[in-house]
Chains A and B, each alone.
Chain A
Amino acid sequence: MKNDFPRHEVRAAVAAIHEKLREGCSEQVAERVCAWMDTLSPSGQAPDYFLQPSMFPMLLVPAWMSESVDVWDGRFQSELVYSSVNAYYSIRLLDNVMDGHETCEKELLPLSAFFHAEFQGVYERYFDASHPFWSSFRSLWLQTADAVVREAQLATMDAQSFREIAANKLSAAKIPLIAVHHHLGGQTDLAQWLLFCDELAAWWQFLDDLMDWYLDDQRGACTYFLSEAERRRGREETRLRWVLREGFEWGVETLEQWREALQRSAHTLHSDDALNFLDERGAMVMQEARRLLPGMQAFEEVALAMDKETLEV
């Protein structure tokens, strides 16, 4: 695996999507979709979105899996990147509408069919209709949809429902792992890699919940972190006060425990790439925690001072 994987592959994938849209759609629609893809990225360049350290490593795990048995098929991995980038856009169009984050997604929703066809089309070139890959594909794709719908209906989430939903919400990320396993003739430890992907999904989702807790709280979202805030806060304590007092630190400690479990799994899978990734991400989380904790403590000191007297406008 090249050091900068999947930088080149992502750029090629986005360029190919642009080209197909411009070939098959009216100029107006193609430009709107390409512009939407760009707007998702903080840099304004669509490929950069997939290269952010914060991104769930859906493009990397299939490469780690392949490398764990010392096989590297660059062309196949490049096609998996193309497929997964399309899968991401297909899901993101729907998610933004569901979450009420949409800007122009509602008008672009029919293009979800294009992204889905491109996502699936890659696998059709490698596996014929009777191949066992397809039963896994259908099962995982349906699990993803099921988890998203279930999550939207939840009012609270415990550790078990979080594990089920967080892991299953990212089930589609396991489709390229199934593909790698079959493409390499079944020589990878598929069950262990799927389990690792589930654990990684839970870790990543909890990190997302922890870092986005305030915005999630503002929009009334149900997350595991906010559900724990509700369970653990004092009777008169607000969720904000619990986060400042102990919740953020509890979240960071929980993440670290889960990351250590992931490291043990990565050892079992003989994946140095996964271990390096976990080391880097763990260091980033701790750096972020060190950056934020003094401010949390400062806010808490203000809160304690305000507690001392009822304040009037």
Chain B
Amino acid sequence: MAVTFQQLVDHVITNAQFRHEFEKNPVAAAESYGVHMTEPLKHALQKLDINGIKQVAIQMQGPAQFT
């Protein structure tokens, strides 16, 4: 079964332990979740803006900080 981007994002947002692992090592965390690691994906994950991801994940999991 294909792991979709939506599933990966949902897992990052809803699973605090996984998010912590993803923030430390996104390539290993994505692989452990079952994502098939391609070279383009590995490259994208290695240069990932981890702080940016963290900010979005915190905002998405709510409750919203601003509203």
Interface residues of A (CB under 8 A from B): 53-54, 204, 207-208, 211-212, 214-215, 238, 240-241, 284-285, 288, 291-292, 294-299, 301-313
Do A291 and B64 touch across chains, with their CB atoms under 8 A apart?
Answer: no
Residues of B within 8 A of A303 (CB): 5
Do A215 and B60 touch across chains, with their CB atoms under 8 A apart?
Answer: yes
**Complex Cα–Cα for A240 and B9 (A):** 9
Do B41 and A305 touch across chains, with their CB atoms under 8 A apart?
Answer: yes
| Chain B proximity of A151: nearest CB distance (Å) | 17
Do B66 and A313 touch across chains, with their CB atoms under 8 A apart?
Answer: no
Count of chain A to chain B residue pairs whose CB atoms are closer than 8 Å in the complex: 111
B contact patch SS: helix
**Complex Cα–Cα for A276 and B38 (A):** 51
Do B38 and A309 touch across chains, with their CB atoms under 8 A apart?
Answer: yes
Residues of A within 8 A of B49 (CB): 294-295, 297-298
B44 nearest CB neighbor, chain A only: A305
> CB within 8 Å of A: which of B11-58?
13, 34-36, 38, 40-41, 43-45, 48-49, 51-57
**Complex Cα–Cα for A313 and B60 (A):** 25
A207 nearest CB neighbor, chain B only: B67
**Complex Cα–Cα for A160 and B45 (A):** 42
Do A54 and B38 touch across chains, with their CB atoms under 8 A apart?
Answer: no
Do B66 and A288 touch across chains, with their CB atoms under 8 A apart?
Answer: yes
**Complex Cα–Cα for A238 and B53 (A):** 19
Do A311 and B56 touch across chains, with their CB atoms under 8 A apart?
Answer: no
Residues of A within 8 A of B62 (CB): 212, 214-215
> When A292-B55, A298-B52, A311-B2 are in contact, do A305 and B40 touch as well, CB less than 8 Å?
yes
| Chain A proximity of B49: nearest CB distance (Å) | 4
A288 nearest CB neighbor, chain B only: B66
